[in-house]
Every structure is written in structure tokens, then in C-alpha cells.
Amino acid sequence: MRRNERNITDFNERIEVLKKCRICSVAFFDKDFPYILPLSFGFIEENQEISLYFHCAHTGKKLELLKSNPHVAFSTNVDCKIIRGDLPCDTGMLYHSICANGIMEVITDREEKVKALKSITKQYTFVGHIDTAQLQEKGAKSQEPLVASHGFLEHEFSTAQLDSVTILRMKVNEFTGKRHL
């Protein structure tokens, strides 16, 4: 990393940044050019090993690309803010970013599919991350996590729900973070 002072060296700090991110762009190997998709995700960290989870349809380009090469990379960022300077070259950006690479595979084990779907749900079930007007329409009055008021993480996925989705797991190999505050 060229700007080493921006490197997030603490593993737990990188995890905290990842928790705040909402979309990650995943790069797959294609013939002549990378194929990049913005995807919703969830993750599980155990003993400093990270698995990112994604859900998708049973067919599609990313699944075809994974068959020929399971090596992928992703990038995500949060807390982005433009800092305008007096001159164009003095303008900059504040941010937190995470990049990683690893091996992606299709998960067929039902228990792991449930864990994966719950991790994805967890990534998106807090009040600060959804439309407040939508919450008011539904009668939500507090700033408590939706998990507590709606039980999203306790949801039991039916066989039909599990069968309707393909789950992808990316076992993270290299995991880096950068910040400019």
C-alpha cells in the first residue's frame, strides 16, 4: 500500500468497517476483462477467518464464470465524503474501504445455507440502514434494531425458501482496509 499511514492494520477495526458496508463489488474472471457485480452480502468471522456470503438465482453469468475460475476479489467502502479544495487538485475524499480476495464456491449444505442467509439478513436489519419513512409507515417508533422488534434473525427459513436460492461463499484469503478521515 503506497499510503501506509491510511492502512487499517487492526483486524477488528477492519471487521467493524465491513459491518457498516452495504454493497460490495465482486470481480470474477471473464475472458478478456473482469466481470464486476455490486452484490448484497453477509459475513461470518470465526478466529480471524472470514467467509462472505451472497445469494443469487440458480443460473447466471457469475455461476458460469465460477465454474471455470473460482478466484474472486471484492471491494467495498463506506463513510465517503468529498472534501473540496480551493483548486481541483486540492479536492479529496474521506472514506473507509475494504478489499479482499479469495475462493468462491456454491454452498449446498442446508445448515450453512441458513447461517449464510441469517448473516445476509443481519447485515441489513438495523434502523439506520433503511428508509425511515418506510419504518414510520409500518409503525416503528423506536431506534432499536429491527432484529429486536421484528425477529428477522430468528426467522426459520422454509425448505421452499432454501431451495429457491443459490448461496455462494467466498473464503477470504487476503483482507485489507484503508481509511482517510
pLDDT of residue 144: 44
pLDDT of residue 1: 58
pLDDT of residue 169: 98
Residue ranges in the chain modelled with pLDDT below 70 = 1, 126-154
pLDDT of residue 131: 52
Residue whose C-alpha cell reads 474472471 in the numeric block: 29
Of 123, 101, 117, the C-alpha closest to 54 is: 117
pLDDT of residue 76: 93
The whole domain housing 23 covers 4-110+165-180
Does residue 141 sit within a domain? no
pLDDT digits (tens, 9 = 90+) for 12-36: 999 999 998 889 999 999 999 999 9
Does residue 67 sit within a domain? yes
pLDDT of residue 88: 86
pLDDT of residue 132: 53
CA–CA dist 141, 132 (Å, integer): 10
Does residue 151 sit within a domain? no
pLDDT of residue 136: 59
Does residue 105 sit within a domain? yes
Does residue 38 sit within a domain? yes
pLDDT of residue 138: 57
Does residue 133 sit within a domain? no
Phi/psi for 49 (5° steps) reads -110, 130
pLDDT of residue 64: 97
Does residue 157 sit within a domain? no
Please tell me the total count of domains within the chain: 1
pTM, full prediction: 0.82
CATH of the domain at 35: 2.30.110.10
Does residue 156 sit within a domain? no
